[in-house]
Homo-oligomer: A and B are copies of this chain.
C-alpha cells in the first residue's frame, strides 16, 4: 500500500478502511527500534526541560480496541521519562459517583498541570464509543458530546496544554492473534477477560463510532493520529516520534536563573 497520513486531513470524513493497520512505511523492525531508542533519550531531555520550565504541559490520549496496545505503548514509549513528571490515568467503567455528574467531570481533574505530561489510557472518548455503540444514553445525549469534547479540549489547549490523540489501529485478525496469545501464555492470561469477546462481536459498530470521533473531534488544537498498530515496534516509533516533535515545537527550555544567582556564596 502507498504512503498514508498519520494525521488525517482536517475537515474530511475519515474512512478507516483507507488506513492499513500493517503499514510500516517500508521500515525494518531493527531500524525502527534503533531510531526509537534515540528518540526516547531525546524525550527524556525534553521532558526535564518541560518540567523545569513549568509553563506548558502535554496531554497524550490513547484509544484502541481491546489488545490494541495501549498498555504496551505506555510501557515502551515512556521508558526514558522521569516518572515524577508523568501521570497516567486509566479510565475504567465509571463509578456511580462519576455517573452522577456530566461526563467530563471525572476527566477534568487529571488534565496535566504545567510542567507535566499526562497520559490518558482510554478517556472521555469512551463516552462516544462504548456509550454510543451500546446506546447507554439516548442519541440526543451522546450526539452533543462531540461538541462538548471540542470545547473542553480548546479550553485546556488555550491554557497551555498541548494535546496529542492516538488511535491505535489494529485489524480484526490481529486482535484475534493477540487474544490467542493471551490465552496461551500463562504470564498474559490475566489480561484476558471473557467480557472482551462480546465487544469483539461489535467490531464494525466500533469502527463506525471511531470514524465519527476521528472526523468530528479532529482539530488543529487536538489532532488525532491514526497509528498503524499491527506492528508494535512501528506503533511505538510513531508515537515516540510524534511526542518528541511536539515537545520540540513547544520550544521547551530551561528557565532563566533567579536574578542574582552569580553572586551567591554558599556558606560552610
Q: Which residues of A are in contact with B by a Cβ distance under 8 Å?
A: 52-53, 71, 74-75, 78-84, 86-88, 90, 119, 121, 172, 176, 179-180, 183, 186-187, 189-194, 197, 200-201, 254-255, 257-258, 260-261, 264, 266-268
Which of B81, B121, B187, B193 touches A84 (beta carbons < 8 Å)? Answer: B121
Given contacts A192-B257, A194-B264, A254-B186, contact A78 B83 (CB under 8 A): yes
| Cβ–Cβ contact B78 & A74, under 8 A | no
Residues in B whose Cβ lies below 8 Å from that of A187: 254
Residues in B whose Cβ lies below 8 Å from that of A172: 268
| Cβ–Cβ contact A190 & B255, under 8 A | yes
Who on chain B is nearest to A191 by CB? B52
A144 to chain B, nearest CB (A): 31
Residues in B whose Cβ lies below 8 Å from that of A179: 266
| Cβ–Cβ contact A82 & B87, under 8 A | no
Residues in B whose Cβ lies below 8 Å from that of A88: 83-84
Residues in B whose Cβ lies below 8 Å from that of A180: 266
| Cβ–Cβ contact A197 & B267, under 8 A | yes
**Which 3 pairs across A and B sit closest by C-beta, in order of nearness?**
A189-B257, A52-B190, A75-B82
| Cβ–Cβ contact B193 & A258, under 8 A | yes
Residues in B whose Cβ lies below 8 Å from that of A193: 258
Extra A-B contacts (14), CB below 8 Å, given A71-B84, A189-B254: A52-B191, A74-B82, A75-B83, A81-B83, A84-B121, A172-B268, A176-B268, A183-B261, A186-B257, A189-B261, A192-B258, A192-B261, A194-B258, A197-B267
| Cβ–Cβ contact B200 & A267, under 8 A | yes
Residues in B whose Cβ lies below 8 Å from that of A257: 186, 189-190, 192
